[in-house]
Structure 1
Amino acid sequence: MTHTGAVGVPWSVVGEAPAYLQSDPVGGPSTPIDALQGIALLDRLDSMPRGDVRAFLQANPDAVRTMLASPPSASAVAAWWDSAPASGRGILRSLAPQLVGNLEGVPYRARDLANRDVLQAADEQLETRLGGVIGRAEREELEARRHMLREVEQALEAGEDRRLIGLDVTGEGRAIVAVGDVSHADYVTYLVPGMFFGVDAQIEAWTATAQDLVDEQERRLAAAGRSGTVAAVAWIGYTTPSLVNVASMELAREGRDALTASLQGLRAERGDDQPHLAVLAHSYGSTAALLSLEEHDVNVDALAVVGSPGSPARHASELHVTGGNVWVGAAEWDPIPASGVFGSQPASRAYGAKLFSVAPGVDPATGETLGGAVTHNDYFARGSMSLRNLALIAIGEGAQVIGPDHSRGDFARAHTRIR
């Protein structure tokens, strides 16, 4: 396959390919370790004694950051991990937990353990610094960072079977929490947020939303008499925008690259046992997801966007979604879907996606009354028509989804656009 840029031009023409598309550098046994990169460096490190690994990391404090900024492909990492000696993997997890915890292709269980070590170490370091003599401004900064770490801890402690599969404790932070066994679940759903969804303010709530989705999916599978296991990923893997920069696509492109890497990491982790993979994306996060599925070498089985400002893709067929399984939800009083800020209006008939209802109504399968989404931030509310439909979309039950005209599985009369 020839990888291309956003306009179909080979990367050899337009310049260097993104990091996740680059080939891994190679190096023989005589190559100095500080000249190695990618898999060659990982191979060398996992064969070294603990003391030598520690000495290398101390002498090269930017080695982990550099590796994560330009990582090997997830499939190459998965192959390396499988072939690396257990002792070498253990040394790296204990001495370089940030690397093991965030390197796509490493099994999620190992990443969870490594990231929890990073979380604990960061918390202890903050407590030590806060216990010393520091200025007011520094104290406020450290207390804010401590609050962010506590939010991640609470997200992990609030429910069973949760794994911390991505963590960055610097700056505004990034955190990715899996609810359920993403390594083995039959259905895996990624939840991609929009503006104002920072780790400090939202990781606990976003993880709770992932739990609500999992609970709803399990209920729907049982009602349909189907077997299957589900997992959801509360993904805050990029810096979400504020009012200052929401009109720019810069952070959406950052989200595009980060989401691509995460999805490729799941594909590599699962190998021959691939799940039904869905992405549910909100607002600005939908633009990041649309960019990923249009421009990058990754595909999913279902995509649903809500409150979406669009992307350069003009039609659902331009997205790497199996069978054109693209869905759109838009609340009546949400102005964003009709804005076309980033080029397209996914809720329009011309886009070619299926619309689903987010309005209040009665569930025809259970008879229960469901709430409706009124504004831009109501789409994932527990007990809502929107969450019901999103759950069904992500487990391949599109025929049971309620359309905007409140018919089941009939989208011929879908609204042409949001008023």
Structure 2
Amino acid sequence: MGQPDVLVDVTTFLSNPAIAAVVAGVLGMSPAMPVVTAATVSEALARPAVEAVASNVPQPFIGPDPVGGGSSLDTIARLDGVALLDQLVDLTPGERSEFVQLYPDVVGELSTSPPAASAVATWWERTPAASRASLREDLPAVVGNLEGVPYAVRDLANRTFLAQTVADIHAQLDAGVGRAMEDELRARLNMLAAVETSLITGASGERRSLVALDVTAQGRAVIAVGDLAEADYVTFFVPGMYVGVAEQLVDWTGNAETSLLEQQEWLGRLDLDGDVATVAWIGYHTPTVVNIAGLDLAYQGRDSLTASVQGLKAVRGGVAAAQSPDPGPYVSIVAHSYGSTAAMLALQENDISVDALILVGSPGSPATSVDDLKVANHNVWVAAADTDPVPRSGVFGSQPLDEDFGATRFSVHATTDPITGEKLDDINGHVYYFWPGTTSVRNTALIAIGQGGLATTDTILAKASAH
């Protein structure tokens, strides 16, 4: 029996009024329908899939929308890391804007819990240039804070984000807000003004780059003086308590500039080749007297500093470096006060290593000796002023000043430079280790360019005074 005959038989079967009424009820049709034809059967059979859903009849599971090629924003929001970045690249500018509005926390997590720098570097290199540019324009806060993205791109993105944030705050103030909100917005403007001031070129003439920017709460900012992509010597300056973006970023960037100048002078004086870059790194929320007693913020600093060092190595070890081998820069960390605790935690517990670690005014750390720290050749240096009370506190564990810790102690006392004859100043208290013209700045600069053998120690100073 062919298909037409079957259709006729079915039609005939449904022409029975009693049977038609039952079937029509099941199919959601009126049981009073007068005539059943091939057309009405086809129409009825086309309805149940939609109407059954409305009446809570279980339907077969067909899975979520496939990712890519028309995927929903909700599906994309379930992703993270590089998979999320891939989808954000494929969205149109309008879709990206909608995504940020709908899922701000998902976007924010790309900064708070970013993919590994090596994965980001690989992703960036394989993403088409036009797509990268579009993503940077639409999501500058994301691109600007991704470790593994080239520093020039991050600087451009973060400057865009900075300008947009300032403009948005002014627009809110002009529109009118409550007193509490106005105070908060003006405090944020003050913080962002400090970032803008810190980006002004200093005495060295080296361009400053905005490597990272977080405008939430008390903010975070990382500013490089010099070219991180090309420098032979890179020094990260990690701060301790009370060093916030609004209050101290300008001075902290000035400290990085002071060291860069000193390092450049010593390279020239010693007839050594090499370019220098220093990093004013306020990449974590530094403690105040309210929360200084705990290690929570030190762990935050540990992980953020780890990401920054890994980011440097990912950028310098990318495809371009593979084609033209780059041994990478000589990397040093100069850490002050609570920042020294964060730095030692990073080098003890995380997957990074550096060429030199310089600790000043340290309250200690869980590390018990230089053997616990991933520093090349145990190249760990430590110093403290006689009038600095923090190292004597022993609040966070082993004290790197102790002889059995194994660090080399350098001098911060007033002296005459044994090479140049320059008069160098003493350090008084806890905060002046980076003051221009001090023994401390001279010695940390030499250590940061791999010339620690020329750093003065108190023993050397004693011998010099005897003569």
Same fold (TM over 0.5): yes
**Contact 2:259–2:441 (CA<8 Å) still a contact in 1?**
yes
Residue of structure 1 in register with 2:358 after alignment: 304
Deviation, structure 1 residue 29:
4.3
Q: What is the aligned partner in structure 2 of residue 22 from structure 1?
A: none
Q: What code does the residue aligned with 1:252 have? A: A
For the pair 1:133 / 2:176, whether they are aligned, the reply is yes
- Give, in whole Å, the separation in 1 of the partners of 2:461 and 2:372: 27
Q: Is the 8 Å Cα contact of residues 217 and 391 (structure 1) preserved in structure 2?
A: yes
Call closer, same or farther: CA 1:148–1:409 in 2, change over 3 Å. Answer: farther
* Further displaced range: 333-342 or 277-286: 333-342
Q: Does 1:405 find its partner at 2:446?
A: no
What letter is aligned with 1:149?
Answer: L
Instruction: Find out whether 1:58 has 2:104 as its counterpart.
Output: no
Compared with structure 1, are the counterparts of its residues 146 and 28 closer, same or farther at alpha carbon in structure 2 (3 Å cutoff)? closer
Q: Which piece of structure 1 moves more, 398-407 or 196-205?
A: 398-407
Q: Is the 8 A contact 1:45 1:88 kept in 2?
A: no
Deviations 1:11-49 (Å, cap 9, x if unpaired)? Answer: xxxxxxxxxxxxxxxx96477423322111212222343
The letter for the 1-side match of 2:189 is R
1:402/1:408 contact within 8 Å kept: no
2:369 to 315, 321, 327: 315
Q: Which residue of 2 aligns with 1:194?
A: 240
Structure with the greater alpha carbon radius of gyration: 2
Question: How far off is 1:323 after superposition?
Answer: 0.4
Residues 1:35 and 1:391: Cα distance change in structure 2 (over 3 Å): same
User: What amino acid maps onto 1:376 in structure 2?
Assistant: H
Q: 1:405 Cα shift? A: 2.0
Distance 1:409 1:102 in 2: 49
Aligned pairs for 1:38-49 within 5 A: 38-49=81-92
In structure 1, which of residues 233, 249, 265 is the aligned counterpart of residue 279 of structure 2?
233
Structure 1: distance between partners of 2:258 and 2:444: 11
> Which residue of structure 2 aligns with residue 19 of structure 1?
none
1: CA distance between counterparts of 2:211 and 2:355? 22
- Residue 380 of structure 1: SS of its match in structure 2? coil
> Structure 2 CA distance, aligned partners of 1:196 and 1:37?
33
Task: Report the Cα distance in structure 1 between the residues aligned to 2:149 and 2:305, rounded to whole angstroms.
Answer: 16
The CA deviation at 1:290 is 0.5
Partner SS, residue 218 of structure 2: coil
Compute the RMSD of aligned alpha carbons. 1.8
Q: Which runs of structure 2 are paired with 1:9-408 in the superposition (5 Å)?
A: 29=68, 32-159=75-202, 160-271=206-317, 272=321, 273=326, 274-407=328-461
Secondary structure, aligned partner of 1:277: strand
1:223-282 deviations in whole A, cap 9, x for unaligned?
001010000000000010111111111111111111111111111111042100000000
Contact 1:48 1:88 in 2 (8 A): no
Amino acid at match of 2:360: V
Q: How many residues align?
A: 384
Measured after TM superposition, the shift of residue 408 of structure 1 is 10
Q: Which amino acid aligns with 1:292?
A: A
Q: Is the 8 A contact 1:403 1:409 kept in 2?
A: no
Distance 1:182 1:334, change over 3 A: same
Match of 2:454, as an amino acid?
Q
For structure 1, list consecutive stretches of 5 or more residues without a partner in the other structure: 1-26, 411-419
Structure 2 unmatched ranges of 5 or more: 1-65
Q: Give the partner amino acid of 1:300.
A: V
Q: Which moved more, 1:289-298 or 1:151-160?
A: 151-160
3-state SS of paired residue (1:43): helix
Tell me the secondary structure at the aligned position of residue 303 of structure 1.
strand
Cα distance change on mapping 1:55 and 1:151 into 2, 3 Å: same
Using the size of structure 1 for normalisation, the TM-score is 0.88
Structure 2 counterpart of 1:414:
none
In terms of mean alpha carbon deviation, does 182-191 or 143-152 score higher? 143-152
> Once the 2 structures are TM-superposed, how far is the Cα of residue 374 of structure 1 from its aligned partner?
1.6
Shift of 1:89: 0.6
Q: Which 10-residue stretch deviates more, 271-280 or 65-74?
A: 65-74
Report if aligned partners of 1:33, 1:41 keep a CA contact under 8 Å in 2: yes
Match of 1:416?
none
